[in-house]
């Protein structure tokens, strides 16, 4: 009798336990919410390390990775382009179901305002736009990369960040009049990306430290140059925090569609058009410390 009673109680308790298990299995954050930054020494690693690390990230819930696409490394000589630094990032991200957010930054010496400074502002905006077109032709929806590597899962790159932290000296030098100059680069880059892949999203350069002042300067510049109707995407960051926080910067006057992306590559969210009206230069001990990136 006692065994029969225990069996009945167990059967009654089982349905009560199932909803709790199902609730625990439900996703509680948006897709691509948790991301990482793929940069510095790890970017110099051999393919087997790429494979291992992207696999570990995927197992632990990473769904997006912010990766540096160094224009400096891709076109060290004008008119010559290599993809040996960017191919592995796209390949292993695709193999492990992680969406890359390429940050296209760092001008080569022949396209710098200050040729001897890696963090120099670009002097040739059209050359930067041309490089964007090459990247989309390789990694976009009809990209050559996917034709050359049919064994890699087809996950075309559809989101591009144009430069990084133009408001700080070691990413955009000289700093004089940077909101206007970066705005011109962003405008040309945005048009270039949309012409090459109309379905792609464009993310504005990340803004560090007093990001609210920098975004205000960009908006003011946009208003004064009659570009206030342009649609942009933006990345802003809260300083002095161990984790990067995402903040949508939809403007009062621009009323843009804003895609906000954290420093780690996620989360991202779209804000629909409105109605009406301490960073420090990082150092690297990688094999190419003077040619790649001083910070990100």
Tokens for 9? 């109680």
Which DSSP string corresponds to 50-119? HHHHHHHHHHTT--EEEEEEEHHHHTSSTT----TTTHHHHHHHHHTT-EEEEEEE---GGGBSSTT-TT
pLDDT the model gives residue 224: 79
Query: What are the boundaries of each domain within the chain?
Result: 29-271
Residue 278 has pLDDT above 60, yes or no: no
End-to-end CA distance of the chain: 70
State CA 268 to chain mean position distance. Answer: 10
What's the pLDDT at 6?
A: 41
C-alpha distances out from residue 31 to 66, 89, 113, 163, 265, Å: 15, 20, 40, 25, 12
The least confident of 50-54, 150-154, 206-210 is: 206-210
- Write down the pLDDT at residue 226: 56
Residues present in the chain in total: 296
**Amino acid 196: pLDDT:** 98
Question: Which CATH topology does 29-271 take?
Answer: TIM Barrel (3.20.20)
- Examine the pLDDT at 78 and tell me if it is beyond 50: yes
Strands of 147-213 (E only): list them: 159-162, 201-204, 206-207
How many CB atoms are located within 10 Å of the residue 69 CB?
25
**pLDDT tens readout for residues 8-40:** 334 444 444 444 334 445 777 788 788 889 988
The string of pLDDT tens digits covering residues 101-158 is 999 999 999 999 999 999 999 999 999 999 999 999 999 999 999 999 999 999 999 9
Backbone φ and ψ for 66, nearest 5 degrees, come out as: -90, 120
pTM: 0.71
Please count the other Cβ atoms lying within 10 Å of the Cβ belonging to residue 236.
22
Point out the least confidently predicted range of 171-175, 185-189, 223-227, 260-264.
Answer: 260-264
Closest CA to 93 of 64, 130, 136, 119: 64
């Amino acid at each position: 009798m006692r065994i029969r009673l225990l069996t009945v109680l167990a059967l009654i308790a089982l349905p009560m336990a199932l909803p709790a298990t199902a609730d625990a299995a439900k996703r509680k954050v948006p897709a691509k919410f948790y991301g990482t930054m793929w940069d510095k020494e790890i970017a110099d690693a051999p393919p087997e390390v790429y494979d291992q690390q992207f696999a570990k990230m995927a197992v632990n819930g990473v769904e997006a990775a912010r990766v540096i696409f160094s224009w400096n490394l891709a076109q060290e000589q004008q008119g010559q382009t290599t993809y040996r630094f960017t191919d592995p990032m796209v390949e292993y991200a695709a193999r492990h179901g992680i969406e890359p957010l390429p940050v296209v930054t760092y001008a080569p010496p022949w396209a710098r305002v200050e040729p001897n400074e890696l963090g120099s502002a670009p002097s040739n905006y059209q050359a930067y736009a041309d490089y964007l077109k090459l990247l989309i032709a390789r990694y976009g929806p009809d990209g050559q990369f996917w034709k050359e590597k049919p064994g890699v899962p087809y996950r075309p790159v559809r989101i591009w960040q144009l430069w990084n932290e133009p408001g700080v000296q070691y990413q955009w030098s000289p700093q004089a009049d940077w909101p206007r100059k970066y705005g011109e680069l962003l405008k040309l880059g945005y048009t270039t990306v949309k012409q090459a892949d109309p379905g792609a999203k464009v993310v504005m350069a990340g803004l560090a430290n007093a990001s609210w002042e920098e975004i205000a300067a960009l908006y003011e510049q946009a208003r004064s140059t009659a570009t206030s109707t342009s649609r942009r995407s933006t990345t802003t960051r809260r300083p002095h925090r161990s984790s990067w926080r995402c903040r949508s910067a939809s403007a009062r006057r621009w009323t843009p569609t804003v895609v906000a992306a954290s420093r780690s590559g996620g989360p991202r969210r779209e804000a629909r058009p409105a109605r009406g009206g301490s960073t420090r230069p990082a150092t690297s001990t990688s094999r190419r410390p003077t040619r790649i990136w001083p910070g990100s």
